[in-house]
Each structure stands twice: as C-alpha cells, then as structure tokens.
Amino acid sequence: MAQEEISSLFLSQEDLINSGCFDMKLAISAAEEGLKAFMNGEILFPDKTVQIFDTHTQERINCLPATLLSKKVCGMKWVSVFPENPSRFGLQNLSAVILLSGIEKGFPLCFMDGTLCSNMRVAAIGAIAAKHLAVQDPETIGFIGVGEQAKMHLVGMKSAFPKIKFCQLGGKNPEEEKDFISQMQPLFPDMDFRPAGTDLQKAVDHSDIIVTATTAYAPLLKASWMKEGAFYSHIGGWEDEFDVALQCEKIVCDDWEAVKHRDQTLAMMYSEGKISDGDIYGNLGELVIGEKPGREDNTEKAYFNAVGLSYIDISIAFEMFRRAETSNAGRELMLQEKMIFRHENLAEKLKV
C-alpha cells in the first residue's frame, strides 16, 4: 500500500531564532539569490490578494504566493497589517505565517512563523540596496521612526556595513528612542547611539544612510536635510516630501511596476505627474545581476523604495526551514494518517 501519511514541520518564531535563523547574512544571501532567480525567469510570481477591512486605518490581511522553480518549492505568506494595534491594544501591528509546499508531490513541507522572516526581508532588501547605492564606507545612519522595522533595518545595515559607528534616532517621543537604545545597544556595543529628542532634522543630519520607518502619512523627511552622497531607504507610505526624490540622481525600487500602484510617495508623485517611468533608474534586481551600475560617484544622492516581493519572503523562509530542519527544530504535525475512505468505522462517523 502506498504511503498515506502526510505531515508538516511546525516552526514557531522561537524555534527559528533558537536554531540560528535570526541571521541577517542568511537573509541577505537568500534575498540576493531570489532577485537573481527572478531576473533569470526561475520564479513564479502571481498577484497577491488583499482584503482591506477598514479603508481609513488600512487594516488588512494579504495573501502573497510565489514559487521557486529551481528549488522546487511553492510558498505563501499570510500577513496581517493592523496599524492601530500599538495605540489601541499595545500590540505589534504586523503578524504573519508562511506555508511551504514541495512541487514534486505537492505536499506541505512546513508551517512557520512569518513575522520574523517578513521583518528580516524588509531589512535585507534595504541592506542589499545600500550595498549598491550607499557610499563605500558609511559611518552614520539616521532613523525617522524607531519601531520594530527600524530596529531590524539597523541589523541589516550593520550586517552589510560593520563599520557603521553612529546611529541617530528620531522617534515620536523620547521614551521610544530610549527603548530603541536599550534593545539595540547590547546587540551593537561598538555603536554610538544618539537620540534626537524627536528633532527629526537632527536625527538625519550628516547621515550617510537615512531610513524612514513610520506609520505616519506626512512629508516628515525634508529634501534639505539630505546631505550630498546620502542614501535613503524608504520603508513606509508617505514619509518624505516630493523634493527628496526629485533631487536624487538615482531612484531605485524593488519593483517599480508594483510600487507605482501603491500609496507610497513615489506612487503619489507618479499619479500627480511629478515623475514618469523614465525617471526611475531601475529595479534592484538589475543592479544585483550587474545589468546596471549602482553608485558611480560619492556625490550622488540615491533613493530606494521597496514595496515588498513575496518571492523574497519565500526565498528567505526556505533557507530558514532548511537550517531549522538540520537543527532538528520544531515539531512534526500530522495532517493525515490515511486517505479519507480508508478510515475505520467511517460509516459511524459520517453525517449526511
């Protein structure tokens, strides 16, 4: 008789962290592989499904699938974004799960926490963009917004540029800045953390790398604050005035076609006719495979905007799964022991 059992590995966030998956170098490498695979036509990347429950707050759950053909794995990220959670409930605003399935038999391989992977993906993509667009040896990074995404972005940038010395912080209040420092200083004891006391200009002043990571919908970053040669990583929606992008010599996206249909700054500028397709230098994948050069001199200002690509999440999640599996992390979940009509005493259990 053919094997009828179907099981799947379950990995909690703690399983992933304890098995060494909180590894930004792993995430960056997996993301770079994913970008190269996509550019080589080795990725299936269908449209995501979005369910918005409140148009004002943008509370939503998204379903984002992708297939890595060369690795014979299909995955899906189910991610909820509830921006009001921190203020209403004191809870994080994002949570995610990821399902991986093999495409040889189609059976599920793993059901895992996706929050860690999702946050690491944002930081990994920002770090990859910085590797191509920031000055060679950046020393100072400045943050507008000091929440979870900012913390993870610092991990990503520090992985890409270990010699970054100074971290300047602009939060909504001094307590947020202190919380950032209390959590990140032990991870990077060699860094000099400089709270700006909510003075956003001070937070990005003289910064080689600027990161905005907020849930605000306002032009927080001013063009005049961006020094010559600075690299800007834009994470949220509308966080910067239009002149920030207009003054940059290079504007790069993870996927411009996806970005321009969203609600981010560049999309707003496109819809208002402030920029056109021709103003976008390229997509990050083109820089990664060497199709287009990155930074070409120390004076260029560069703007990077990522909308988020599910095949990058799945690329990172698959590498996490493989590492966790070799560490014997997680637990096996039995989905079925036998096919439906092979169960014993089925007549007693059937309801018609």
DSSP character string of 217-267: -S--B-GGGS-TT-EEEE-SSS-B-HHHHHT-SEEEES-HHHHTTSSSHHH
Q: What is the pLDDT of residues 140-153, one digit of tens each?
A: 999 999 999 999 99
Residue 82, pLDDT above cutoff 80: yes
Residue 258, pLDDT above cutoff 50: yes
What average pLDDT does range 47-68 have in this prediction?
A: 93
Hey, which residues does 97 pair with through a beta bridge? 78, 113
Number of helices (H), then strands (E), belonging to the chain: the values are 13, 16
Q: What is the pLDDT of residues 241-256, one digit of tens each?
A: 999 999 999 999 999 9
Instruction: Please say whether the beta carbons of 241 and 202 come within 8 A.
Output: no
Dist. CA 224–CA 228, nearest whole Å = 10
The predicted structure's pLDDT at residue 263: 83
Residue 126, pLDDT above cutoff 90: yes
Spell out the residues 6+ positions from residue 205 whose beta carbon is closer than 8 angstroms to its own. 142, 168, 225, 227
Dist. CA 46–CA 317, nearest whole Å = 18
CA angle 254, 12, 23 (to 5 degrees): 50
What average pLDDT does range 211-218 have in this prediction?
A: 90
User: Of all helices (H) and strands (E), which one includes residue 131?
Assistant: helix 115-133
Q: What's the predicted TM-score (pTM) here?
A: 0.94
Closest CA to 220 of 272, 171, 279, 273: 171
User: Of all helices (H) and strands (E), which one includes residue 331?
Assistant: strand 331-336
Residue 188, pLDDT above cutoff 90: yes
pLDDT bucket at 2, cuts 50 / 70 / 90: low
Q: What is the pLDDT of residues 24-46, one digit of tens each?
A: 999 999 999 999 999 999 999 99
Closest CA to 301 of 217, 238, 227, 234: 227
Mean pLDDT of the chain: 95
Dist. CA 337–CA 252, nearest whole Å = 50
The predicted structure's pLDDT at residue 1: 47
